[in-house]
Structure 1
Amino acid sequence: MKMYLIISIVLATILGYLLLMMGPLVGGVLAFGIVVGCLIRGLYLLNKISKKLETPKSDKVKAAYEDYLKEKENFNQG
Protein backbone atom coordinates (compact mmCIF):
# COMPACT_ATOMS: atom_id res chain seq x y z
CA MET A 1 0.00 0.00 0.00
CA LYS A 2 2.83 2.39 0.85
CA MET A 3 4.56 1.59 -2.43
CA TYR A 4 1.58 2.92 -4.43
CA LEU A 5 1.74 6.17 -2.47
CA ILE A 6 5.45 6.57 -3.13
CA ILE A 7 5.02 5.82 -6.84
CA SER A 8 2.14 8.29 -7.15
CA ILE A 9 4.16 11.01 -5.38
CA VAL A 10 7.13 10.46 -7.68
CA LEU A 11 4.95 10.46 -10.81
CA ALA A 12 3.14 13.61 -9.66
CA THR A 13 6.49 15.30 -9.06
CA ILE A 14 7.70 14.38 -12.54
CA LEU A 15 4.44 15.58 -14.07
CA GLY A 16 4.65 18.86 -12.15
CA TYR A 17 8.23 19.40 -13.29
CA LEU A 18 7.28 18.74 -16.93
CA LEU A 19 4.34 21.13 -16.67
CA LEU A 20 6.60 23.86 -15.25
CA MET A 21 9.03 23.36 -18.13
CA MET A 22 6.23 24.01 -20.64
CA GLY A 23 5.75 27.51 -19.32
CA PRO A 24 3.23 29.08 -16.99
CA LEU A 25 0.44 29.43 -19.52
CA VAL A 26 0.45 25.97 -21.09
CA GLY A 27 1.52 24.16 -17.92
CA GLY A 28 -0.97 26.06 -15.80
CA VAL A 29 -3.85 25.27 -18.13
CA LEU A 30 -2.92 21.58 -18.24
CA ALA A 31 -2.48 21.41 -14.47
CA PHE A 32 -5.82 23.14 -13.93
CA GLY A 33 -7.51 20.67 -16.31
CA ILE A 34 -5.98 17.68 -14.54
CA VAL A 35 -6.96 18.89 -11.06
CA VAL A 36 -10.49 19.90 -12.02
CA GLY A 37 -11.01 16.67 -13.97
CA CYS A 38 -9.94 14.59 -10.96
CA LEU A 39 -12.21 16.57 -8.64
CA ILE A 40 -15.22 16.17 -10.94
CA ARG A 41 -14.56 12.44 -11.32
CA GLY A 42 -14.26 12.10 -7.54
CA LEU A 43 -17.56 13.91 -6.99
CA TYR A 44 -19.23 11.70 -9.60
CA LEU A 45 -17.99 8.55 -7.85
CA LEU A 46 -19.04 9.83 -4.42
CA ASN A 47 -22.52 10.59 -5.76
CA LYS A 48 -22.75 7.11 -7.28
CA ILE A 49 -21.66 5.48 -4.00
CA SER A 50 -24.15 7.59 -2.05
CA LYS A 51 -27.03 6.55 -4.31
CA LYS A 52 -26.03 2.91 -4.06
CA LEU A 53 -26.01 3.06 -0.26
CA GLU A 54 -29.39 4.84 -0.08
CA THR A 55 -31.43 2.38 -2.13
CA PRO A 56 -32.48 -0.53 0.06
CA LYS A 57 -31.89 -3.95 -1.38
CA SER A 58 -34.94 -6.11 -1.87
CA ASP A 59 -35.26 -8.63 0.90
CA LYS A 60 -35.99 -11.92 -0.84
CA VAL A 61 -36.77 -13.77 2.37
CA LYS A 62 -39.31 -11.15 3.45
CA ALA A 63 -40.93 -11.16 -0.01
CA ALA A 64 -41.16 -14.96 -0.02
CA TYR A 65 -42.68 -14.96 3.47
CA GLU A 66 -45.28 -12.36 2.46
CA ASP A 67 -46.13 -14.45 -0.62
CA TYR A 68 -46.51 -17.51 1.61
CA LEU A 69 -48.85 -15.63 3.95
CA LYS A 70 -50.97 -14.44 1.00
CA GLU A 71 -51.20 -17.99 -0.38
CA LYS A 72 -52.11 -19.33 3.04
CA GLU A 73 -54.78 -16.67 3.44
CA ASN A 74 -56.22 -17.43 -0.02
CA PHE A 75 -56.19 -21.16 0.75
CA ASN A 76 -58.04 -20.66 4.05
CA GLN A 77 -60.67 -18.45 2.41
CA GLY A 78 -61.29 -20.70 -0.59
Structure 2
Amino acid sequence: MPTGVRANGSDMYDIDIAPYELLIHRILDLNSASKHTVMRGLLEAVLAPSVVVLERSGRPIKPRSEQETELLDRAKELSMAK
Protein backbone atom coordinates (compact mmCIF):
# COMPACT_ATOMS: atom_id res chain seq x y z
CA MET A 1 0.00 0.00 0.00
CA PRO A 2 1.42 3.41 -0.92
CA THR A 3 2.16 5.62 2.09
CA GLY A 4 2.26 8.97 0.33
CA VAL A 5 5.51 9.78 2.16
CA ARG A 6 8.69 10.43 0.13
CA ALA A 7 12.09 11.49 1.40
CA ASN A 8 13.30 14.68 -0.27
CA GLY A 9 16.48 15.29 1.72
CA SER A 10 18.09 14.77 5.07
CA ASP A 11 15.22 14.33 7.55
CA MET A 12 12.74 16.02 5.20
CA TYR A 13 9.70 14.44 3.55
CA ASP A 14 7.02 15.32 1.03
CA ILE A 15 3.54 14.01 1.68
CA ASP A 16 1.17 13.13 -1.14
CA ILE A 17 -1.95 13.70 0.92
CA ALA A 18 -4.42 11.37 -0.87
CA PRO A 19 -2.56 8.07 -0.31
CA TYR A 20 -1.39 9.29 3.11
CA GLU A 21 -4.99 9.93 4.14
CA LEU A 22 -6.01 6.44 3.00
CA LEU A 23 -3.14 4.90 4.97
CA ILE A 24 -4.08 6.79 8.14
CA HIS A 25 -7.74 5.76 7.81
CA ARG A 26 -6.66 2.11 7.53
CA ILE A 27 -4.42 2.43 10.58
CA LEU A 28 -7.33 4.05 12.44
CA ASP A 29 -9.59 1.14 11.44
CA LEU A 30 -7.00 -1.35 12.68
CA ASN A 31 -6.60 0.57 15.94
CA SER A 32 -10.36 0.76 16.49
CA ALA A 33 -10.82 -2.97 15.89
CA SER A 34 -7.93 -4.04 18.13
CA LYS A 35 -8.30 -5.13 21.74
CA HIS A 36 -4.50 -5.45 22.13
CA THR A 37 -3.42 -2.68 24.49
CA VAL A 38 0.23 -2.57 23.43
CA MET A 39 -0.57 -2.54 19.71
CA ARG A 40 -3.12 0.21 20.21
CA GLY A 41 -0.57 2.28 22.10
CA LEU A 42 1.95 1.90 19.29
CA LEU A 43 -0.62 2.73 16.60
CA GLU A 44 -1.85 5.77 18.52
CA ALA A 45 1.73 7.10 18.66
CA VAL A 46 1.61 7.21 14.84
CA LEU A 47 -2.03 8.25 14.54
CA ALA A 48 -1.91 11.32 16.79
CA PRO A 49 0.57 13.39 14.75
CA SER A 50 -0.89 12.01 11.51
CA VAL A 51 -4.33 13.31 12.50
CA VAL A 52 -2.81 16.76 13.00
CA VAL A 53 -1.13 16.62 9.57
CA LEU A 54 -4.42 15.68 7.92
CA GLU A 55 -6.34 18.38 9.76
CA ARG A 56 -3.79 21.04 8.75
CA SER A 57 -4.11 19.78 5.16
CA GLY A 58 -7.84 20.44 5.20
CA ARG A 59 -8.76 16.76 5.57
CA PRO A 60 -9.93 16.31 9.14
CA ILE A 61 -10.94 12.83 10.25
CA LYS A 62 -14.55 12.46 11.38
CA PRO A 63 -14.78 10.20 14.44
CA ARG A 64 -17.08 7.20 14.20
CA SER A 65 -17.03 6.23 17.86
CA GLU A 66 -16.37 7.61 21.32
CA GLN A 67 -12.96 5.89 21.25
CA GLU A 68 -12.04 7.70 18.03
CA THR A 69 -13.34 11.00 19.43
CA GLU A 70 -11.05 10.61 22.45
CA LEU A 71 -8.06 9.79 20.22
CA LEU A 72 -8.71 12.78 17.96
CA ASP A 73 -9.11 15.09 20.98
CA ARG A 74 -5.76 13.90 22.39
CA ALA A 75 -4.13 14.41 18.99
CA LYS A 76 -5.33 18.01 18.85
CA GLU A 77 -3.54 18.68 22.14
CA LEU A 78 -0.14 17.80 20.65
CA SER A 79 2.42 20.53 20.44
CA MET A 80 3.58 20.40 16.80
CA ALA A 81 5.42 23.04 14.81
CA LYS A 82 3.51 24.62 11.95
TM category (shorter chain) comes to 0.3 to 0.5
Which structure is larger by alpha-carbon Rg, 1 or 2? Answer: 1
TM-score, normalised with respect to structure 1: 0.33
Report 1 or 2 for greater relative contact order, CA contacts < 8 Å, sequence distance ≥ 6: 2
| Structure whose residues are more often helix by fraction | 1
